[in-house]
Amino acid sequence: MRLKREKHLTGNPLLNSQALHGGLISEDRRRLVEELRARGIQDERVLEAMALVPRERFLDRPFATRAYEDSALPIGEGQTISQPYTVAYQTQSLELKAGEKILEIGTGSGYQTAILAKMGMRVFTIERHVALLEAARKRLESLGFHRVISRAGDGTRGWPEYAPFDAILVTAGAPDVPESLAKQLSAEGGRMVIPVGGQRSQKMYLVKKKGEELSAKELADFAFVPLIGKEGWSV
């Protein structure tokens, strides 16, 4: 069977520029992108992806009408879709290169997954709530993101069958950096962006791997739902 290939940003600069400047983007989304830019998001590939992915499609009524507020919103199972600024911040912090292999922990609504896929990344994503994963898969399929690989389960253990990853993005707050995830980072410049701290607030870290050496840079403060699992918080 021939799989349809989704268009991604790096491959089609004309489409990107037309989409951004030629009036194809909704006013609300354009305004949100300008707000993100004003708050310090400078990676144009991140901004373009956020201009192109319809966030309202990742929300159920009645929240879809609030898709372009810069806020986290409920998605069921006591979980949230991250605030657009947080999505942009985490994505930008990963210092991604076109075509890299990324593991996302915490698929949630699938919105962050879609942003990474739109940027041309090869995305693997894990969600512990089966119902959320199934809803996210449907949304991603319906928007043409056919190449995302996903599974339900405990993401703190990573996905050894597909390791190593060029980058790992954790979208829930961890008590510490899970050892399994650190092991599954590429030894040649692998990066992980992960919020670490208490159950209510965390510090974002950029962890880098060179050979067997890990270094961690402290970024800004955030508040995420907890990362629950064998190498995270217990239920």
How is residue 40 written in tokens? 């310090």
Compare residues 190 and 232 and give the one whose CB is closer to ligand SAM.
Answer: 232
Q: How far is CA 147 from the centre of its chain?
A: 15
Q: Which residue has the tokens 């208490």?
A: 198
User: Is residue 82 part of the contact set for ligand SAM (CB under 6 A)?
Assistant: yes
Q: How far is the CB of 55 from ligand SAM (least distance, A)?
A: 9
Q: Shortest CA distance to 115 belongs to which of 206, 64, 176, 51?
A: 51
Q: Shortest CA distance to 88 belongs to which of 115, 114, 55, 108?
A: 115
User: Is residue 154 part of the contact set for ligand SAM (CB under 6 A)?
Assistant: yes
Secondary structure (3-state) at 106: coil
Q: How far is the CB of 2 from ligand SAM (least distance, A)?
A: 29
Compare residues 79 and 92 and give the one whose CB is closer to ligand SAM.
Answer: 79
Secondary structure (3-state) at 218: strand
Q: Shortest CA distance to 111 belongs to which of 77, 75, 76, 147?
A: 75
User: Is residue 171 part of the contact set for ligand SAM (CB under 6 A)?
Assistant: yes
Q: How far is the CB of 124 from ligand SAM (least distance, A)?
A: 12
- Touching ligand SAM, residues 107-146 (CB under 6 A): 108-109, 111-112, 126-129, 132
User: Is residue 90 part of the contact set for ligand SAM (CB under 6 A)?
Assistant: no
Contact (Cβ atoms closer than 8 angstroms) between residue 170 and residue 202: no
Q: Which residue has the tokens 């037309």?
A: 18
Q: Sort strands 188-197 and 202-210 into parallel, antiparallel or unpaired.
A: antiparallel
Burial of 161 from C-beta contacts in 10 A (0-12 / 13-18 / 19+): exposed
Q: Confirm whether 234 is a catalytic residue.
A: no
- Applying CB under 6 A, which part among 4-12, 35-43, 139-147, 149-157 lies near ligand SAM? 149-157
Compare residues 108 and 190 and give the one whose CB is closer to ligand SAM.
Answer: 108
Q: Angle at Cα 96 formed by Cα 112 and Cα 175, nearest 5°?
A: 60
Show the site string, 182-221: x = touches ligand SAM by CB under 6 A, - = not. ----------------------------------------
The one catalytic residue among 17, 26, 71, 82: 82
Number of residues binding to ligand SAM, judged by CB under 6 A:
26
Of residues 156, 180, 184, 202, which one binds ligand SAM by CB under 6 A?
A: 156
Q: Which residues lie near ligand SAM (CB under 6 A)?
A: 79-82, 105-106, 108-109, 111-112, 126-129, 132, 154-156, 171-172, 224-225, 227-229, 232
Instruction: Give catalytic residue positions.
Output: 82
